Amino acid sequence: MKNISWLFLLLSFFFLLVPGTLLAQNAFDGTWALESDQTELPKKPDIYLLQGGIYQCSTCVPAIKVHADGKSYPVAGSPYFSSISVRTVDSRDLQITETQKGKTVYTENDSVSPDGNLLMQKVTDSSAPNGEPVIAEETFERIGAPPVSGNMISGLWQAHRIHFSSANGTTVTYHATANGLQVSTPGGEGYDAKFDGKEYRIRGVPVRSTVTLKRVNARTIEETDRDEGVVHYRLRMAVSRDGKTMKVTELDKERGTKTTYRMEKQSGLNHPPKPTA
């Protein structure tokens, strides 16, 4: 999946009669929500350069190098967008828009603080198949000194804090099945997979994405996500002994980063996932 990860839902009556699978699955059943203040963001910095009217992001996937004139330029290497527009507003602000097949799928407004040491990114990701966007604000701290000239966006930026203002991207629902899980998100992404090491299709994404599940123990599951056969994410989800929280460790193999976050089981939000198409 593009950005941030998964969670879980409802135990069917059938599994009350099957103790062998019940113990391994009921810890995850339910709807879970991200606790943003319990998130450890990647240590690897993002690198931006805006100089001579050219915007570059060497740590982006794919890497970006385009004129920052507000015009749309084609970008190869991403299944999620095919063109990008970067517009310089002033020496501390710029706007980024990504499109796919003529549709805007992502917008980002970047603003650097007057002292040049903080970067705020306001993001709207509209790539979900049902149109439910992910809306977030992320704060970065500068590594090193601000540039003496040129645009203040230039430099190395360490992710510091993230806040989501939409349920999509922060909640996931899990439902136990025979030796597996059904998963759904408010944005329409999800899967129905078993703990057998096989690849299962992820629905609601623009490319051929698959998931493989491994049951470690009654409270721990490992998930591997692939796009077009290439591993992009590895996740380890571990539910606490009291069943109220879940620690998720997410390795982004594409970007070489690690994110750790905590999710809290919700009450009154347990709705069965949408059936797999």
CATH code, domain with 153: 2.40.128
- Asked, for residue 277, whether it belongs to a domain, the answer is no
Q: Which domain holds residue 124?
A: 46-164
Q: Is 77 helix (H, G, I), strand (E, B) or coil?
A: coil
Residue from 174, 200, 175, 178 nearest 263 by CA? 174
CATH code, domain with 35: 2.40.128.20
Cβ-contact 68, 53 below 8 angstroms: yes
Residues 62 and 157 in one domain: yes
- Asked, for residue 155, whether it belongs to a domain, the answer is yes
Q: What per-residue confidence (pLDDT) applies to 187?
A: 83
Residues 159 and 179 in one domain: no
Residues 214 and 240 in one domain: yes
- Cβ neighbours of residue 183 closer than 8 Å, sequence gap 6 or more: 6, 7, 8, 172, 173, 174, 175, 190, 191, 192, 193, 273
Question: Tens-of-pLDDT digits for all 277 residues of the chain?
Answer: 343 333 322 222 222 223 334 334 479 999 999 998 889 999 999 999 999 999 999 999 999 999 999 999 999 998 889 999 999 999 999 999 999 989 999 999 999 999 999 999 999 998 877 767 889 999 999 999 999 888 999 999 999 999 998 877 889 999 988 899 999 988 888 999 999 999 999 998 878 899 999 999 989 999 999 998 899 999 999 999 999 999 999 999 989 999 999 999 997 544 444 444 4
Q: What per-residue confidence (pLDDT) applies to 258?
A: 96
- Cβ neighbours of residue 67 closer than 8 Å, sequence gap 6 or more: 53, 54, 55, 73, 86
- Asked, for residue 276, whether it belongs to a domain, the answer is no
Residues 158 and 71 in one domain: yes
pTM of the model: 0.81
Count of the separate structural domains present in the chain: 2
Of 120, 141, 164, the residue that ends a domain is: 164
Cα separation of 49 and 86, whole Å?
Answer: 12
Using omega within 30 degrees of 0 as the cis cutoff, is the peptide bond preceding 42 cis? no
